[in-house]
């Protein structure tokens, strides 16, 4: 039994367990490998298309390999007004990637996300779900240095 099969099996008899299983797999691999979708379809008695639909419906789940550090920029109106576009440009420049891409060394992936509920301290980014508040473009090199 593979590691992915073991993880998914833990949630097989839970109502709505497919999402929890996907979270557990993603926590282990940082994305959902094809094997996870195939195995989830078997365990939860749905078609592979339905299992894939669940995997791709939620923005916090990913079916493509991602970096060790997932940087997410909030794209809500308050962050946008506070300068999120300039922060994104600074991150892209510093890492040499665009939104949706992963650095060649597999260390960083840059994504956009909806509001993360921290509108009092905009703009906000998260690195592996840990929020960083009141981010300015000038802070990006120092913020990223901590993860390099």
Domain spans in the chain, listed from the N-terminal domain onward: 3-57, 69-145
Dihedral sign for Cα 138, 142, 145, 146, please: negative
pLDDT profile of the chain (148 residues), mean per 10: 95 93 95 97 96 92 93 93 96 97 96 91 94 97 94
Q: How far is CA 123 from CA 91, 95, 145, in A?
A: 13, 19, 19
Query: Cα-atom radius of gyration of the chain, to the nearest Å?
Result: 17
142 strand-pairing partners: none
The model's pTM is: 0.81
Question: Tokens for 29?
Answer: 């691999």
The CATH classification number of 69-145 equals: 3.40.30.10
């Amino acid at each position: 039994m593979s590691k992915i099969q073991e993880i998914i099996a833990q949630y097989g008899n839970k109502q709505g367990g497919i999402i929890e299983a996907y979270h557990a797999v993603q926590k282990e691999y940082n994305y959902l490998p094809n094997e996870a979708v195939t195995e989830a379809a078997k365990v939860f008695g749905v078609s592979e298309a339905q299992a894939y639909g669940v995997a791709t419906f939620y923005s916090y789940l990913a079916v493509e390999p991602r970096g060790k550090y997932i940087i997410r920029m909030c794209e809500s109106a308050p962050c946008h007004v506070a300068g999120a576009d300039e922060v994104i440009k600074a991150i892209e420049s510093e890492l040499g990637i665009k939104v949706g891409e992963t650095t060649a060394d597999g260390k960083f992936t840059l994504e956009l996300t909806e509001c993360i509920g921290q509108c009092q301290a905009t703009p906000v980014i998260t690195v592996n779900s840990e929020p960083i508040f009141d981010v300015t473009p000038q802070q990006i090199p120092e913020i990223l240095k901590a993860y390099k």
